Amino acid sequence: MKKSVNILKKSYLPVCLALLFLSSCSTENDVTNDTELNAVYAKTSSKTDYMVILKSESIPDGFEAEMESIGATIKSTIPEIGVLVVSSSENVSNKISKKGNVRSVVPDLNVQWIEPSDFAPLASPLSIGSDEFYFDLLWGMDAIDAPEAWNTGQTGAGVRIAVLDSGMDGTHPDIAPNLNTGLSASFIEDEDWQVQPGSYFNHGTHVAGTIAAADNEIGVIGVAPNAEIIAVKVLSEFSGSGPFSSINAGIVYAADIEADVINMSLGATLNKNGKFYDEDGNFTDKIPSKYIQEIVHAQQRAINYAYRKGVTIVVSAGNGGENFDGNGSTIKLPASLNNVISVSATAPESWIENPLGDLDLPASYTDYGRSHVTVSAPGGDFDSPSDFWFYDMVLSASPGGWFFSAGTSMASPHVAGVAALIIGKNGGQMDPHEVTKQLTNTADNIDGNGASLYHGKGRVNAYRAVTE
């Protein structure tokens, strides 16, 4: 869906509306479809690709040649975590699984981490963001006290952030000044990290804008407007899908290029019994339950690799409106993994009509749970009865302009930006455990002390994060 929105406050440039849900973009008629909201779309690759997960987190000499000698075609390797992707028959994959140094061989599922798009006041003080054209509409920056943080001199300078997503518009005026094109890369076959030209909603560009849109008097401004961003394409810009191996390879790549922060505004829900929704929305049990645990294990290896190399990893909590406390059969990747900061979404209600109202309401769609959420952040919502409900969403960059969207996909980049401010204040390098501790210790308690069902340790506060 693609709509034009008439902005009433002043003569704004064209801004478009995109409903971003399930860490994704949905049409307006889709947002109440509970079946689709909780669905995981997955299927084995048409090329019969398998992930070979070795017992050790390395690939021994001669192993690749051994694979080829029995009829497997090696498509890619992630030697840092002991994973190979091979194309082979089921018979050959069974032979591989029997080798002594192989832990498991599982289908490299192509999962839809974000849904495809149809392509279809100002309580903030004066700050470097005040001259951005759409600054008045960035209620999320007000909610986390970002302008107050900028006024202390902290803007994320010297910090590198890898955006693992669906690519990016490297020509966008809010993205180009902070984008390192030389290090940007794609792990999606036959797609470049640079997205197609045009005017449409692109998930990765929108996320990057919230993190680090430049301070350039043009459109919006990011939480860390002087940080460096890297586009790491791990999902198709057309379908929002990507194999697990691409996600894992992107995580390892980001760590190897010395990213300080990884943002993953994406998610897939798997059940330990092996059941999931396929791309046609059919509930199926094609995948043996033992494969699910191996897929989780491989992704945890990638997360651990990056964490050990000093990367702070921020992810979206998910948008199924599900309580993960006590829900042992359901796994949200990557939010359910260790060593990540899982972010739930907050929003105002009818903000444009009540700009001094509560900005910290739990979003109607956000996943939650004291065991699942680390912190909360502005993600926006669309359930206001107001005719101007779209102002409750998050405005950011997209090819050809600026779009409103909502989802935990929008919350995660707010936190990634605050993490960059923290790291920047501490000289550009900081242990991820210390970053997490600073984020949580300085978050605002929204509904009581301790861990909150919807807010975790609290809603992030950029100013407190760089001053306390």
Which residue numbers are catalytic? 165, 203, 409
Neighbours of 337 (CB within 10 A): 19
Q: How far apart are CA 461 and CA 145, in angstroms?
A: 6
Extended beta strands in 137-199, E state: 160-165, 185-186
Name the β-bridge partners of 52. 84, 105
Long-range pairs for 90-96: beta carbons < 8 A, 24 or more residues apart: 90/48, 93/50, 95/70, 96/50, 96/52, 96/67, 96/70, 96/72
Q: How far apart are CA 57 and CA 239, in angstroms?
A: 31
283-284 and 276-277 strand pairing: antiparallel
Tokens of 383: 């359930």
Q: How far apart are CA 400 and CA 12, in angstroms?
A: 15
Extended beta strands in 354-458, E state: 361-362, 375-378, 394-398, 401-405
Q: How far apart are CA 330 and CA 147, in angstroms?
A: 39
173 SS3 class: coil
Q: How far apart are CA 440 and CA 422, in angstroms?
A: 12
Burial class for 98, CB neighbours closer than 10 Å (0-12, 13-18, 19+): exposed
312-316 and 261-264 strand pairing: parallel
Query: Could you tell me if 401 and 14 are in contact, meaning their C-beta atoms sit under 8 angstroms apart?
Result: yes
Burial class for 450, CB neighbours closer than 10 Å (0-12, 13-18, 19+): exposed
190 SS3 class: coil
Query: Could you tell me if 140 and 394 are in contact, meaning their C-beta atoms sit under 8 angstroms apart?
Result: yes
Query: Could you tell me if 118 and 27 are in contact, meaning their C-beta atoms sit under 8 angstroms apart?
Result: yes
At residue 395's C-alpha, the angle toward residues 126 and 15, to 5°, is 110
Phi-psi region of 117 (alpha: psi -120 to 50; beta: other; left: phi over 0): beta
